[in-house]
Amino acid sequence: MLGLSGSGLFGGETTETVRAFIEQTGVTFPIVRGDTTYSEYANPDGAISPYPLDVIIDREGTIRYLRHEFDGDAMVAQVEQLLAE
């Protein structure tokens, strides 16, 4: 399990912001920081960001979970289901 954090919508996300997210959500997996801003991936009008994006990929490389909102319980359920297979 690995999290990826960009630099925020316009580059303002800091290490402290990521730490606050970890504390708020209770995630226990590592978070990797990148320097990409969300706006680089937005529509030309800047209206839509692809973040957050949670993805769980099974052992065969198939995407089994894909959500744009963090739902820890749903993610745990999906991982447990995959481990049982």
Summarised one tens digit per residue, pLDDT across range 50-78 is: 667 788 989 898 999 988 888 889 999 99
Contact between 69 and 52 (Cβ < 8 Å): yes
4 and 39 assigned to the same domain = yes
Q: What is the mean pLDDT of residues 35-40?
A: 58
Q: What is the residue range of 69's domain?
A: 52-85
Q: How far apart are CA 22 and CA 20, in angstroms?
A: 5
4 and 41 assigned to the same domain = yes
In degrees and rounded to multiples of 5, residue 38 shows phi and psi of: -60, -35
Q: What is the pLDDT of residue 30?
A: 85
8 and 20 assigned to the same domain = yes
Q: Which residue has the higher pLDDT, 12 or 42?
A: 12
Domain count, the chain: 2
Q: What is the pLDDT of residue 77?
A: 96
